Amino acid sequence: MLNRLDDYPIHQTPEPIAHPASSDPNVYDRTWFNGYNDAGTRYFGLGMAVYPHRGILDCHFSTVEAGGQQHCFYASRRAPQERTDMSVGPFRLEITEPLRSARVIIDDNESGVACDLSFSARTSAIQEARQVLWQGQRKAMDATRFAQFGRWSGTVTTPDGEFTVDQDTWRGTKDRSWGIRGVGERVQVGAPKAPGGVFFLWAPLQWEDHITHAVFFDGPNGEVLVREGAVAPLFASESEIPDELDHVATHMATAVHRVDYHPGTRLARYAELDLIDMQGHVRTIEMEPLLRFQFKGLGYGHRDWGQGMWKGELAIGGESFDPLTLDLLAPDNIHVQQVVRVSDGEQSGIGALEQLVIGPYGPAGFTEFFDGAE
């Protein structure tokens, strides 16, 4: 099964590019973006992924304004043989220049959500350490990820009307990941296993002339599974980003998080982050949440439009909901990202704080799968 990418000298196995190295049904390859304005009053997120063994290509786009509805567009199709085809009905993702710029278009459709957005990178692509999580003897996750920070321009249309995205006031993050992780319908094979929990915290933050980045996976008692921090310069334009990608980001020795939750929820009321460099210097970053975005709008935990779920040869959907009326302890509402104002005592910035805590987690006092903070 050949596609256009097979014409390039990029193969990592004797198989064509369309053939994953693993036969795990949860193989995936995903592109994700967020975008938010400097005032922290508007946010959008989008994702597109292919699941080769499931034969599915799907995408999601969702946007929210402070005090308003969160509007969502969903689409899914049978995955095409051609991997450079990243279109699903009215949606298409175009890589204008690899690791520099991209364009996302959603033509008018029955959901009432459409867009024409261009992303321009302002940092190098920052590779995170390989993320491997185990469930017994089986890898529940085995993925590589990189993040890239940039600016947005264009327009977004929702059932409430159209708004303009101006690159002078809109920032965002690109997140590429691929490998193996739990997606799609769960299929029971062999003896049943006890459900597993997860603690995940992700903090891509933009400052005046640099970015900071941190990612955490913890065990149920707060033990470190994955912990990483990095600092990298911001460039004035994509053309100024150097080609020597491996020498731009400065990786920390480690990072530490502290989260204070709203009572009765698993939603951060306030958070701090320590970045600790190789010499032991500690930079403490305070994060004040401004706006909440529900990740079910991007298929995470969605009961009907979850990632990697077979919806037919081509299916398009959408919905709108009020984030302020949701039960934040319901399983499909646990996963969130907040736009946060950040400060280290000398300078300020803005960014996002993603949170997912399922199951017991000792440091926060969570003892059940979906109980809230005291």
DSSP per-residue codes, 182-220: --SS----SS--PPP-EEEEEEEEE-SSEEEEEEEEE-T
Residue 193 has pLDDT above 90, yes or no: no
Convert the pLDDT of each residue in 163-180 to its tens digit. 999 999 999 999 999 999
The pLDDT, as a whole number, for residue 226 is 93
Selection from 201, 165, 153 nearest residue 352 by Cα: 201
CA dihedral 52, 54, 57, 61 (to 10 degrees): -120
- Checking phi first, is residue 89 left (phi over 0); if not, alpha (psi -120 to 50) or beta? left
Least confident of 114-128, 179-193, 258-272, 273-287: 179-193
Convert the pLDDT of each residue in 316-330 to its tens digit. 999 999 999 999 999
Residue with the two structure tokens 């005032």: 39
Convert the pLDDT of each residue in 51-66 to its tens digit. 999 999 999 999 999 9
Q: CA distances (Å), 298 to each of 47, 48, 178, 212, in order?
A: 7, 9, 17, 24
Residue 185 has pLDDT above 80, yes or no: no
Whole-number percent of the chain with pLDDT over 70: 98
Predicted confidence band at 186 (pLDDT cuts at 50, 70, 90)?
confident
The pLDDT, as a whole number, for residue 245 is 60
The pLDDT, as a whole number, for residue 246 is 56
28-183+196-364: CATH topology is AttH-like fold (2.40.370)
Residues with Cβ < 8 Å from 65, sequence gap 6 or more? 41, 42, 160
Convert the pLDDT of each residue in 327-353 to its tens digit. 999 999 999 999 999 999 999 999 999
Whole-number percent of the chain with pLDDT over 90: 83
Predicted confidence band at 312 (pLDDT cuts at 50, 70, 90)?
very high
Residue 45 has pLDDT above 80, yes or no: yes
Q: CA distances (Å), 159 to each of 90, 201, 219, in order?
A: 17, 32, 41
- Checking phi first, is residue 52 left (phi over 0); if not, alpha (psi -120 to 50) or beta? alpha
The pLDDT, as a whole number, for residue 236 is 94
Selection from 357, 368, 350, 363 nearest residue 35 by Cα: 350
Tell me the torsion sign for CA atoms 11, 173, 58, 228.
Answer: positive
Q: pTM of the prediction? A: 0.95
Selection from 226, 216, 205, 357 nearest residue 285 by Cα: 205
Q: Once rounded to an integer, what is the mean pLDDT over residues 252-257? A: 98
Domain ranges of the chain: 28-183+196-364
Selection from 168, 198, 171 nearest residue 33 by Cα: 171
Q: CA distances (Å), 278 to each of 76, 135, 353, in order?
A: 45, 32, 24
Residue 92 has pLDDT above 70, yes or no: yes
The pLDDT, as a whole number, for residue 133 is 86
Q: If you average pLDDT over every residue of the chain, what do you get?
A: 94
- Helix, strand, coil distribution of the chain in percent, nearest 5: 5, 55, 40
- Checking phi first, is residue 329 left (phi over 0); if not, alpha (psi -120 to 50) or beta? alpha
Helices (H), the chain: none
